[in-house]
Structure 1
């Protein structure tokens, strides 16, 4: 079985997307756990952006090593540079400037839920950009069920409570940049190797993050102990693996068929935040899991 056959099959798409969403869902609690270890406070935006820069620069180095081991092209060509800059700006720099700032003002559960809105942005953008990826009634019903699950999961106090402040708006804007970056990556995937594209867009995006963060906090304001270093390396790994696999899925499938699995990110994020951060987890979240699963099934069920 070749890569295209596996990643376009129902089982291959579902298992790969679920694994990526598990990785990305775990980012919420591990970022929250890293902040107190490095003494990063909610109002210290430069430190938050710099920490993000560390993470994604290390992730790009991991992917760069993979390019070397698999003997893939390493040189950044003039033809590739505009695409790498464009995707790096949205999928790494802007998304994670907003994400790290937003998460510092939110709980892990709240951040997990709002970030799931990237699904809606992806499907809406695909509807207007691709003639073969339009909305239909089946997809609308699936999205409504999934969104209902996301809303129910937001009931962190046991009821449906959802308030928006700086953190929530930053996370929502981050989700839009995530969706747009995914669309841009899909458009360029036919011209460039997926891992090559992911490596260099992440490296370029992380250099902007490092520059912005260093202007306010210096280049090395943190004191890493063993635990903080392990968390940083794990966050870097999940970014390297997650973006490579996700962009590979987008290169072989319609945006809407892949993006619906974004609903799993808030599910994993909520459960892992409850487990690792000891945030309150109520029965209503388990109902949300059922709705999210139903939404995924309906959207991906092919017509007979």
Structure 2
């Protein structure tokens, strides 16, 4: 079975998108564990950005090494520099700088809910960029169902007050940047292999994160031991696998058809945090999962 046939088959789309969002959702508890082990506080933005730089740099190297060993041509091609630079800037660098700064200035519950808006931005961008991927009533209903699921999942985290400040604006910009980066990756994938595109965009994005982090806190302010190193390695692996799967899903399908799956990320994040960190798991998580699944079904049903 060819890659295109797999990633356009309904079952292939579902397996790939759910696995990618599951991997990204698992990042939440493992990032929390890393921060605890490395003594990174919630207000230490420089350390957080530097750690993200480590993660994505390592992810880019793992992708490069794996596909180099299986005889893929991974040599950098000068003609791809401009699109790779754009993708890396929006999909990795800008998204995560805005995300970490915004999260430090926002409440936990509002940050978690706003982090679920990438689907909306992707579908909105697709509406204006692709004539065959317009918003319609079914997509709007699916988006409402999916976003409602994200809100329900986060209701247990504290009192929600609709207060849009500077932190919330930065988080919205971060999600817009991520959505735009995913669209740019879809366009770039028309001329580049997915492993090549993903590896180099992560490399460029991570170098920007590393520069900011190093200027803030130095090159190596952390005391790694075996557990924290293997968690970093897992975070890099999930980033590599998640982005390769998602960029393939985006490459072969309409944006509006697959973006709804991104609402699963915070649902998986809350569920896995309860499983791994022992955080309390409420029935709201199951209700949220039902709502998100309903949104996926509404948008993708024939």
TM-score range, shorter chain: over 0.9
Shift of 1:223: 0.5
* 1:155–1:285 Cα contact (<8 Å) kept: no
Cα–Cα, structure 1 residues 96 and 262, in superposed 2: closer, same or farther, change >3 Å?
Answer: same
Paired residues for 1:152-231 under 5 Å: 152-157=152-157, 168-231=168-231
Shift of 1:276: 2.8
Cα–Cα, structure 1 residues 106 and 261, in superposed 2: closer, same or farther, change >3 Å?
Answer: same
Report what 1:58 is aligned to.
58
* 1:49–1:100 Cα contact (<8 Å) kept: yes
C-alpha separation in 2, matches of 1:238 and 1:111: 22
* 2:110–2:160 Cα contact (<8 Å) kept: no
CA deviations on 1:117-174 (whole Å, 9 max, x unpaired) are: 1000000010011111001111111111112212212202587666555654443322
* 1:63–1:195 Cα contact (<8 Å) kept: yes
Structure 2 unmatched runs, 5+: none
Report what 1:39 is aligned to.
39
* 2:109–2:160 Cα contact (<8 Å) kept: no
| Corresponding residue SS for 1:120 | helix
C-alpha separation in 2, matches of 1:198 and 1:172: 24
C-alpha separation in 1, matches of 2:8 and 2:57: 30
TM-score, normalisation: structure 2? 0.93
Paired residues for 1:27-106 under 5 Å: 27-103=27-103
| Corresponding residue SS for 1:156 | helix
Please report the RMSD computed on the Cα atoms of aligned residues, expressed in angstroms. Answer: 2.0
Paired residues for 1:105-120 under 5 Å: 111-120=111-120
CA deviations on 1:232-263 (whole Å, 9 max, x unpaired) are: 00100001001111111111111111211001
* 1:143–1:295 Cα contact (<8 Å) kept: yes
| Corresponding residue SS for 2:79 | coil
Report what 1:17 is aligned to.
17
* 1:127–1:134 Cα contact (<8 Å) kept: yes
* 1:108–1:270 Cα contact (<8 Å) kept: no
Report what 1:140 is aligned to.
140
Report what 2:131 is aligned to.
131
Report what 1:260 is aligned to.
260
| Corresponding residue SS for 2:156 | coil
C-alpha separation in 2, matches of 1:117 and 1:202: 22
Structure 1 unmatched runs, 5+: none
* 1:106–1:167 Cα contact (<8 Å) kept: yes
C-alpha separation in 1, matches of 2:110 and 2:40: 19
Question: In the alignment, does 2:245 pair up with 1:245?
Answer: yes
